[in-house]
Amino acid sequence: MGLKTTADYVHACRVAKQVIDEWDPYSLRTQGAPEDEFEPLAAAVVCYIPRMSNGDDAARAIAEVFSAAFEPQSFSPDQCRDVGIRLFEALAKAGLVGPQEKH
C-alpha cells in the first residue's frame, strides 16, 4: 500500500480530485469554476497519504489543506469528516492506503 511510484502519485491525485470535486465546498465547480480548480489542493492532500490510516486522518488532512487555502473556521476536521471518510475509502479501493478501520 502507499505511493511507491509516480504512477501511484498521479492516480492518488486523480482519486482525491474526484472526491473533492464531488464535495465541492462553496459550490465552486457547480458555479462554473475551471475543471482544474481543486487540482493543487488535491495534490496537497495526497502528500498526507503516508500518515493516513483511516477516514479521520484523511479528514484532518483535508481540513488542514482547505483551512490554509480558504477559511479555517469552515474546515475543521469534524466538518470534513464525511469527505475524509469518502476520500479514504476511495484511496483504499484504489489500493493506495490500507482498509478503513471499523469504529
> What is the Cα–Cα distance from 15 to 9, expressed in whole angstroms?
10
Task: Report the predicted TM-score, pTM, of the whole model to 2 decimal places.
Answer: 0.91
Q: What is the CATH number of the domain that holds 62?
A: 1.10.340
| Domain assignment present for 86 | yes
* Residue 81 domain flag: yes
Q: 1 lies in a domain?
A: no
**Residue 37 located in a structural domain:** yes
Rounded to the nearest 10°, the torsion over CA 16, 3, 50, 63 is -10
Say if 98 falls within a structural domain. Answer: no
What's the whole-number average pLDDT of the chain?
92
Question: Hey, is 82 helix, strand or coil?
Answer: helix
Tens of pLDDT along 54-95?
A: 999 999 999 999 999 998 899 999 999 999 999 999 999 999
From residue 98, how far is each of 22, 23, 51, 55 by CA, in Å? 22, 22, 11, 11
Residue 42 belongs to what domain range?
A: 6-93
Q: What's the domain count of the chain?
A: 1
Q: Is residue 103 part of a domain?
A: no
Residue 68 covered by a domain: yes
Residue with the three cell numbers 465552486:
28
Residue 70 placed within a domain = yes
